[in-house]
């Protein structure tokens, strides 16, 4: 009973903190992307990079800028990682080229899948100069794309959707940097380490020797959660006491990974001039998140049997409830951080966090990617609703025609295609099956979880699946790259199609998209589409394991 009360109070405190941050942060982000003035530091960046901040771009130019910036980031990060053995602050040997490529693609795509051991696989120079930098700019890219799509809905009869470089700089300088600094200070006060001391050898209780690494952890931990990145400084990620020492820091980290995605619906409502639309998207995200938290927590609490109850794979300093809350939140966003081993979750608990990712990371999703993913589902919902009631499908006065629904459908199909195709190949490929720690339904869940994590740009792992081989590194990198950038290009094309339309006035035939009825249909479409797509695979994996 005490665990239940404590768990419910933890969730209540989290919800209260998110509610308190929703209005000021959401309003601030709306102001950031509509401000006509440029900060001095921003003007300096524009001057150095020869950017005209007054110019705007068509969707195709915006997309080329996103892809060019990201590809250059991958190339530079691969070089830095591959050469870390001969650079300052070297720690061990350099990574294999396939691991380096996987890592670079992972951090640039906001996935942060880690095929290496954090504290020994990447030097402090790579962690700080390479990975932490991408922890800022990769969520800023997602934020920029989301704002570009919102402009497509908000503007009438134009061709431009903004300037990627201005959106990128503003998202980094005005949103992510100040919040990350504040988060790092709070985590530092909570006991997260921040140092560059040499590794320390300690004698364990059993008389053995263990090397304890230090590092600039608090600064990376803050942006790791805030930017919905997820890559841990240490291999144990947020289960490591240097990254997440207490139940208080655990709650702070969950708050950080949820606060921007849950505040963006208000930004959306302000930018389109109808805050009720933002409340509808918020209700959609909150409902899905609440359902997944309840499902995963119930599964883990119900699995409590034997001397350890449901504590297998979980830290004693957190317990079952905070571990389930962290797991549902991290897979509902594109964060990928873990404070427990999802491999050790019950079949239904593990299936729950897997299903949370397969929803498309919209509950509430990553920084920016959660909002544009939700808006894609909103477009699909108004299209289906229009067919059901015989009305022309419209969203905010913009007609959803053949081009718009085609772009939306393609963007929504990219992730399922990647997950199902590569999971199917993995189950029959000896190179993959040899890396599975289990066979049967649990083995299927391991492989499916890995490719779902990559294609959704999540980055969390099922732990039992050893994915550090050339084949898995390269195929996971391919899933991460395609799962990130193909939908982004399609979303920007949708923004270009929408911005070219004049906003139609509301009339008696307009389907209202701000009502509880629409919000319920919105949630239903997301769940039904995911269920129809993945139910056979889930039935053969976690459901079969739970029933066995």
Same domain, 502 and 399: yes
Report the half-sphere exposure of 515 (CA within 13 A, side-chain side). 7
Domain boundary residue, one of 215, 247, 272: 272
Report the DSSP beta bridge partners of residue 211.
Answer: 201
Question: Does 128 score more than 70 pLDDT?
Answer: yes
In whole angstroms, what is the distance from residue 77 CA to residue 131 CA?
8
- Average pLDDT on 445-471 reads 88
pLDDT at residue 312, as a whole number: 80
Is 454:479 a contact under the CB 8 Å cutoff?
yes
- The number of distinct structural domains making up the chain is 2
Q: Which of 74-88, 268-282, 305-319, 517-531 has the lowest mean pLDDT?
A: 305-319
**pLDDT tens for residues 139-182?**
999 999 999 999 999 998 788 999 999 999 999 999 999 999 99
Same domain, 374 and 522: yes
Same domain, 385 and 251: no
Same domain, 125 and 245: yes
Task: Tell me if 232 is assigned to some domain.
Answer: yes
From its phi and psi, is residue 337 left (phi > 0), alpha (psi between -120 and 50) or beta? beta
In whole angstroms, what is the distance from residue 120 CA to residue 167 CA?
35
Task: Tell me if 314 is assigned to some domain.
Answer: no
User: Which band of pLDDT confidence, cut at 50, 70 and 90, is reported for residue 63?
Assistant: very high
Domain boundary residue, one of 221, 255, 272: 272
**pLDDT tens for residues 364-412?**
999 999 999 999 999 999 999 888 877 778 898 899 999 999 999 999 9
Question: Does 64 score more than 90 pLDDT?
Answer: yes
The token pair that represents 68 in the structure block? 């060019």
In whole angstroms, what is the distance from residue 102 CA to residue 388 CA?
44
Residue with tokens 């996987």: 102
Same domain, 374 and 517: yes
Measure CA of the first residue to CA of the last residue in the chain; give whole Å.
29
Residue 94 per-residue DSSP state: P
Sign of CA dihedral 214, 219, 221, 227: negative
Question: Does 115 score more than 70 pLDDT?
Answer: yes
Sign of CA dihedral 259, 373, 174, 250: positive
Tell which residue, 356, 358, 317, 323, has the closest CA to residue 342: 323
Same domain, 268 and 386: no
DSSP characters over 389-452? HT---EETTEE--HHHHHHHHHHHHHHHHHHHHHHHHHHH-HHHHTT-S--HHHHHHHHHHHHH
- Average pLDDT on 523-527 reads 95
Task: Tell me if 342 is assigned to some domain.
Answer: no
Task: Tell me if 48 is assigned to some domain.
Answer: yes
Is 275:269 a contact under the CB 8 Å cutoff?
yes
**pLDDT tens for residues 210-234?**
777 788 889 999 999 999 998 888 8
pLDDT at residue 307, as a whole number: 47
Same domain, 374 and 258: no
pLDDT at residue 161, as a whole number: 96
pLDDT at residue 126, as a whole number: 86
Task: Tell me if 277 is assigned to some domain.
Answer: no
Tell which residue, 368, 353, 235, 332, has the closest CA to residue 14: 332
Sign of CA dihedral 195, 198, 203, 209: positive
Task: Tell me if 227 is assigned to some domain.
Answer: yes
Bigger pLDDT: 114 or 181?
A: 181
pTM comes to: 0.94
Task: Tell me if 338 is assigned to some domain.
Answer: no
What percentage of the chain carries pLDDT values higher than 70?
97
Report the DSSP beta bridge partners of residue 399.
Answer: 394
In whole angstroms, what is the distance from residue 416 CA to residue 271 CA?
31
Range of the domain at 142: 2-272
Same domain, 209 and 63: yes
User: Which band of pLDDT confidence, cut at 50, 70 and 90, is reported for residue 1?
Assistant: low
Q: Are strands 398-399 and 200-203 parallel, antiparallel or unpaired?
A: unpaired
Same domain, 8 and 110: yes
Domain boundary residue, one of 209, 243, 272: 272
The H or E element spanning position 268 is: helix 247-271
Task: Tell me if 69 is assigned to some domain.
Answer: yes
The H or E element spanning position 211 is: strand 209-212
Q: Are strands 209-212 and 394-395 parallel, antiparallel or unpaired?
A: unpaired
Residue 504 DSSP SS3: coil
């Amino acid at each position: 009973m005490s665990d239940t009360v404590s768990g419910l109070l933890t969730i209540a405190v989290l919800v209260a903190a998110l509610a308190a941050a929703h209005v000021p942060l959401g309003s601030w982000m709306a102001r950031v992307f509509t401000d006509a003035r440029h900060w001095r530091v921003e003007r300096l960046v524009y001057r150095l990079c020869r950017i005209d901040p007054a110019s705007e771009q068509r969707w195709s130019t915006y997309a080329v800028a996103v892809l060019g910036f990201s590809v250059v980031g991958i190339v530079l990060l691969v070089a830095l990682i591959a050469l870390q053995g001969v650079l300052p602050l070297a720690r061990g040997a350099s990574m294999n080229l396939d691991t380096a490529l996987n890592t670079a693609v992972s951090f640039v795509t906001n996935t942060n899948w880690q095929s290496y051991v954090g504290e020994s696989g990447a030097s402090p120079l790579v962690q700080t100069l390479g990975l932490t930098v991408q922890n800022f700019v990769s969520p800023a890219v997602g934020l920029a794309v989301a704002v570009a799509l919102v402009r497509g809905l908000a503007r009438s009869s134009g061709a431009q959707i903004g300037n990627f470089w201005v959106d990128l700089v503003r998202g980094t300088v005005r949103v992510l940097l100040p919040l990350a600094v504040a988060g790092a200070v709070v985590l530092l006060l909570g006991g997260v380490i921040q140092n560059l001391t040499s590794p320390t050898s300690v004698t364990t209780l059993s008389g053995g020797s263990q090397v304890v690494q230090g590092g600039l952890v608090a600064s990376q931990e803050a942006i790791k959660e805030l930017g919905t990145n997820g890559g841990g400084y240490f291999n144990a990620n947020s289960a490591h006491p240097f990254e997440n020492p207490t139940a208080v820091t655990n709650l702070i980290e969950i708050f950080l990974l949820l606060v921007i995605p849950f505040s963006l619906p208000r930004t959306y409502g302000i930018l389109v001039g109808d805050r009720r639309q933002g409340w509808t998207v918020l209700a959609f995200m909150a409902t899905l998140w609440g359902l997944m938290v309840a499902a995963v927590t119930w599964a883990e609490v119900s699995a409590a049997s034997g001397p350890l109850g449901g504590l297998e794979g979980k830290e004693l300093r957190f317990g079952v409830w905070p571990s389930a809350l962290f797991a549902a939140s991290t897979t509902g966003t594109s964060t990928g951080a873990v404070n427990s081993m999802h491999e050790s979750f019950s079949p239904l608990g593990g299936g729950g966090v897997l299903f949370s990712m397969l929803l498309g990371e919209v509950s509430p999703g990553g920084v920016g990617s959660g909002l544009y993913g939700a808006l894609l589902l909103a477009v699909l919902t108004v299209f289906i609703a229009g067919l059901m009631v015989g009305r022309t499908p419209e969203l905010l006065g913009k007609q959803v025609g053949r081009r718009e629904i085609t772009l939306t459908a393609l963007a929504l199909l990219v992730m399922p295609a990647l997950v199902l195709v590569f999971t199917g190949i993995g189950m029959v490929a000896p190179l993959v099956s040899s890396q599975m720690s289990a066979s049967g339904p649990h083995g299927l869940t391991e492989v499916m979880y890995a490719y779902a994590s990559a294609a959704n740009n999540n980055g969390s792992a099922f732990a039992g699946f050893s994915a550090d081989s050339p084949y898995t590194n390269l195929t996971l990198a391919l899933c991460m790259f395609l799962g990130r950038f193909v939908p982004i290009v399609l979303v920007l094309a949708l923004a270009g199609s929408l911005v070219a339309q004049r906003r139609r006035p509301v009339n008696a035939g307009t389907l209202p998209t701000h009502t509880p009825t629409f919000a319920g249909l919105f949630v239903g479409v997301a769940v039904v589409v995911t269920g129809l797509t993945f139910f056979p695979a889930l039935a053969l994996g976690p459901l079969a394991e739970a029933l066995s």
